[in-house]
């Protein structure tokens, strides 16, 4: 069976822990200029149906550092964009490349692609999940504060793809996730109940962030929801992560955001540009954690 990474739950707890430790080693190799061309001539296909800065650059750089190659594919210039069936595209691409990364809308699309692919498929964001970002977030927490096990993490804002991946991360890495979302923007009920005691929900951001070790937020309107921006600004205006909210968290609490951020909306400039924010490390860690992921998947073949 081909090993895919469609959600965090495609990893078991041991694999997840090992991956984070390996990411730390790989990061050190980059910093010390130690060559690690472990995947010479291996090719990653990157299918992007949505925009990206971090994901594209981190995956492409990862393959270069491994001595391999990445191919950027957009719907504007592939047959996928002209309606070639997903099943056919998956069969064709996976006969040529060694691994495939997809950023798209419907999660079902990536599941279908994976079903027909002979090579590992990585979810680089769907409307439901963003598991690659969570690998970077956990790595960032571990680097700054040590193990995340048993810690209190506050998710403030939309019950979106990032929130769903935080819920899965709470299960995998054994932390307590406290979610605060406005009415009508709660996370998926099934994903939440599957996480049992790892997750709790409130509509009060103060309560969720009280004594938290880490406070996380994300945009109010995700890619594909641009036309809801105005309406969402009204619903979310009490859900800004600002200094007042951070004051209720632990004094050494960290702040994370997957980026891109909207200062003055989901986060104040004071917080994202302040001393508790680790967003730049978090962004850099996309590279190192995805290299550990690529290695795990390429070696599984
Ligand atoms: N955080 C993240 O996935 O960023 P990009 O949309 O720039 O890839
Ligand atoms: N929730 C955001 C994350 C962007 C990296 C989106 O889907 O647009």
Measured distance CA(266)–CA(88) in Å, rounded: 40
Torsion, Cα 90 16 178 230, to 10 degrees, reads -30
Measured distance CA(83)–CA(89) in Å, rounded: 10
Measured distance CA(191)–CA(211) in Å, rounded: 25
- Quote the ligand 2 centre to 1 CA distance (angstroms): 30
User: Is any ligand 1 atom within 6 A of the Cβ of residue 53?
Assistant: yes
Burial of 9 (0-12, 13-18, 19+ CB in 10 A): middle
Give the model's pLDDT for residue 295. Answer: 98
Contacts of 31 (CB under 8 A, 6+ apart): none
Give the model's pLDDT for residue 30. Answer: 98
Q: Report whether 218 contacts 257 (CB < 8 A).
A: yes
Give the model's pLDDT for residue 209. Answer: 98
Give the model's pLDDT for residue 240. Answer: 98
Question: Which residues form the pocket of ligand 2, taking CB atoms under 6 Å from any ligand atom?
Answer: 125, 130, 160-162, 218-219, 222-223, 258
- Quote the ligand 1 centre to 131 CA distance (angstroms): 12
| Residues known to be catalytic | 103, 130, 133, 218, 258, 286
- Quote the ligand 2 centre to 254 CA distance (angstroms): 20
Q: Strand pairing of 69-73 and 121-123?
A: unpaired
Give the model's pLDDT for residue 115. Answer: 98
Give the tens place of pLDDT for each residue, 243-279. Answer: 999 999 999 999 999 999 999 999 999 999 999 999 9
Give the model's pLDDT for residue 94. Answer: 98
- Coil, strand or helix: which one is 96? coil
**Whose atoms come closest to the Cα of 57: which ligand?**
1
29 pLDDT higher than 90 = yes
Q: Report whether 198 contacts 178 (CB < 8 A).
A: no
Chain length of the chain: 301
**Whose atoms come closest to the Cα of 132: which ligand?**
1
147 pLDDT higher than 90 = yes
Give the tens place of pLDDT for each residue, 176-215. Answer: 999 999 999 999 999 999 999 999 999 999 999 999 999 9
pLDDT (mean) for 211-238: 98
Rg (C-alpha) for the chain, rounded Å, is 19
pLDDT (mean) for 227-239: 98
Name the strands in the sheet holding 152-156, side by side, starting at the edge strand that comes first in the sequence: 199-202, 176-180, 152-156, 214-217, 254-257
Measured distance CA(193)–CA(104) in Å, rounded: 25
pLDDT band at 66 (very low <50, low <70, confident <90, very high): very high
- Quote the ligand 2 centre to 222 CA distance (angstroms): 5
222 pLDDT higher than 90 = yes
Contacts of 212 (CB under 8 A, 6+ apart): 152, 153, 154, 178, 249, 250, 253
pLDDT (mean) for 167-172: 98
- DSSP code, position 180: E
Q: Choose among 214, 76, 206, 47: nearest CA to 141.
A: 214
User: Is any ligand 1 atom within 6 A of the Cβ of residue 79?
Assistant: no
Give the tens place of pLDDT for each residue, 70-102. Answer: 999 999 999 999 999 999 999 999 999 999 999
Which two structure tokens, joined as six digits, stand for 74? 């957009």
pLDDT band at 301 (very low <50, low <70, confident <90, very high): confident
| H or E element in which residue 122 lies | strand 121-123
Measured distance CA(220)–CA(157) in Å, rounded: 7
Domains belonging to the chain, first-starting first, are 8-129+283-300 (3.40.50.1370), 134-280 (3.40.50.1370)
């Amino acid at each position: 069976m081909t090993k895919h990474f469609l959600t965090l739950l495609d990893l078991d707890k041991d694999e997840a822990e090992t991956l984070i430790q390996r990411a730390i080693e790989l990061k050190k190799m980059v910093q010390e200029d130690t060559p690690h061309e472990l995947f010479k001539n291996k090719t990653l296909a990157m299918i992007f149906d949505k925009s990206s800065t971090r994901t594209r650059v981190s995956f492409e750089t990862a393959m270069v550092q491994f001595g391999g190659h990445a191919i950027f594919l957009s719907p504007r210039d592939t047959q996928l964009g002209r309606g070639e069936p997903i099943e056919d595209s998956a069969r064709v691409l996976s006969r040529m490349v060694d691994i495939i990364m997809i950023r798209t809308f419907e999660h079902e699309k990536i599941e279908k692609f994976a079903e027909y692919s002979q090579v590992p498929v990585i979810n680089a964001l769907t409307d439901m999940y963003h598991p690659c970002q969570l690998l970077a977030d956990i790595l960032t927490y571990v680097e700054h504060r040590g193990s995340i096990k048993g810690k209190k993490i506050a998710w403030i804002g939309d019950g979106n793809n990032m929130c769903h991946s935080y819920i899965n991360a709470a299960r995998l890495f054994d932390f307590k996730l406290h979610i605060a979302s406005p009415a009508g923007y709660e996370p998926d009920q099934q994903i939440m109940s599957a996480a049992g005691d790892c997750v709790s929900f409130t509509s009060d951001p103060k309560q969720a962030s009280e004594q938290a070790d880490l406070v996380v937020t994300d945009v109010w309107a995700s890619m594909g929801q641009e036309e809801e921006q105005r309406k969402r600004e009204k619903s979310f205006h009490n859900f800004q992560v600002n200094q007042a909210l951070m004051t209720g968290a632990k004094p050494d609490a960290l702040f994370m955001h997957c980026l891109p951020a909207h200062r003055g909306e989901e986060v104040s400039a004071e917080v994202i540009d302040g001393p508790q924010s680790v967003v730049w490390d978090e962004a850099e860690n996309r590279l190192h954690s995805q290299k550990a992921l690529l290695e795990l998947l390429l070696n599984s073949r």
